[in-house]
Amino acid sequence: MNPTMIPIPSAWILYLSAVLFVIGAIGVLLRRNGISIFLALELMLNSANLAFASFAFRFAGASATAAHALNGQIFIFFIIAVAAAEAAVGLALFIAMYRRKETIDVDRFNILRW
């Protein structure tokens, strides 16, 4: 049958988002460089977006649930905005860090412990 006729199953998108989320999470846990951690965070947020998209896509598919689609799609925009805000603050923090310690290796910031 002609693949152009078969829509991508929304589940696939969901799985992708999940994978991305996990990658992001692992990134946060493993990377020491502030910037890369930061990128990983972005990845996680956007995987959430993807998840929203996939669900919205699914809901839009069926007429019964078509009304729900909008909620998710709106949400995506807000998350993007929020991500931007976090980005601003985060970068500012990293700059401040660098100014004081000449490094953005987060493991070097452990005066506070125990």
Partner 1 sequence: MPTQADLFAVAPELILIAGAGVLLLIDAFAPKLRQISSELTLLTAAGAAWALLALPHPGAAWSGMMRSDTLSVLVSLCLLVAVFLCSWMAGPYLRRANKETGEFYALLIFATTGAMFMASSIDLLPLFLGLELLSVALYVLNAFFKDVDVSLEAGLKYFIVGAFAAAFTAYGIALLYGATGTTNIEVMGRTLGGGAAVSPVLIAGFAMVAGGMAFKLALFPFHAWAPDVYQGSPTPVTAFLSVVPKAAALIVLLRFAIAFDLLHMGHSWVWAAGIVAVGSQTLGNIVAIVQRDIKRMLAYSGIAHMGYAMVGVIVAGTAGSSAVLVYIAAYTVMNIGAFAVISLMSENEAEPHLITDLAGQGWSRPLAALALSISMFSLAGVPPFAGFAAKFFIFRSAVNQGLIWLAVLGVINSLISAFYYLRVVYILYMKPLPRRVPDFLRSRAIGAVAGVSAALVVLIGLYPTWVFSAARTAAKLLVR
Partner 2 sequence: MLGSLWIIPLLPLIGFGLNLFLGWRKARKSLVTIAGVGSVGLATIAAYWAIIGYLEQPARVIVERYFTWISAGKITVDAAFQIDPLTVVMMAFVTFVGFLIHVYSIGYMHGESDTAYARFFAYMNLFMFSMLVLVLGSSLPLMFVGWEGVGLCSYLLIGFYFEDTYCAMSGKKAFIANRIGDVGFVLGIFATFAVFGSADFTRFLPIAAAHPQQYAGWATAIGLLLFVGATGKSAQIPLYVWLPDAMAGPTPVSALIHAATMVTAGVYMVVRCNVIYRIGPAALLVVAIVGGLTAIYAASIAVAQNDIKKVLAYSTISQLGYMFLGAGVGAFAAAIFHVVTHAFFKALLFLGAGSVIHACSGNQDMRTMGGLRKVMPTTYWTFLAATLAISGIFPFAGFFSKDEILGRTFAAGASNLHGFGWLYYILWFLGITAAFITAFYMFRLVYMTFHGEFRGTEEEKHHLHESPWTMTLPLQVLGVLSIIGGFIGIPKLMTGHASWNLIEHFLDPVVIPLGTGHAAEIAAGVSEHSAGAGIEWLLLLVSLSIAVAGILVARSFYAGEHAFEKPARFVERYPLLYKLILNKYYIDEVYDKVVIQPLYRFARFCWKAIDTIIIDGVIVNGTAFMTELTGDILRFLQTGNVRNYALSVAMGVLLLIVILW
The residues, ordered by sequence, that sit 6+ positions from 110 with a Cβ below 8 Å of its Cβ are: none
The residues, ordered by sequence, that sit 6+ positions from 31 with a Cβ below 8 Å of its Cβ are: 37, 40
Match 């972005």 to its residue by tokens.
42
Please state whether 18 falls in left (phi above 0), alpha (psi between -120 and 50) or beta: alpha
State the amino acid at position 15 in one-letter form. Answer: Y
Interaction between residue 92 and partner 1 (CB under 8 A): yes
Phi then psi dihedrals of residue 105, to 5 deg: -80, 110
39-68 residues in contact with partner 1 (CB under 8 A) are 41, 44-45, 47-49, 51-52, 54-55, 58-59, 65, 68
Shortest distance in whole angstroms from residue 78 CB to partner 2: 22
32-51 residues in contact with partner 2 (CB under 8 A) are 32, 37
Of 30 and 66, CB closest to partner 2: 30
Match 């998840």 to its residue by tokens.
51
Residue 91: contacted member of partner 1, partner 2, none (CB under 5 to 8 Å, by partner type)? none
- The SS3 assignment for 33 reads strand
Q: Which residues bind partner 1 (CB under 8 A)?
A: 14, 17, 21, 24-25, 28, 37, 41, 44-45, 47-49, 51-52, 54-55, 58-59, 65, 68, 71-72, 74-75, 78-79, 82, 85-86, 89-90, 92-93, 96-97, 100, 106, 109-113
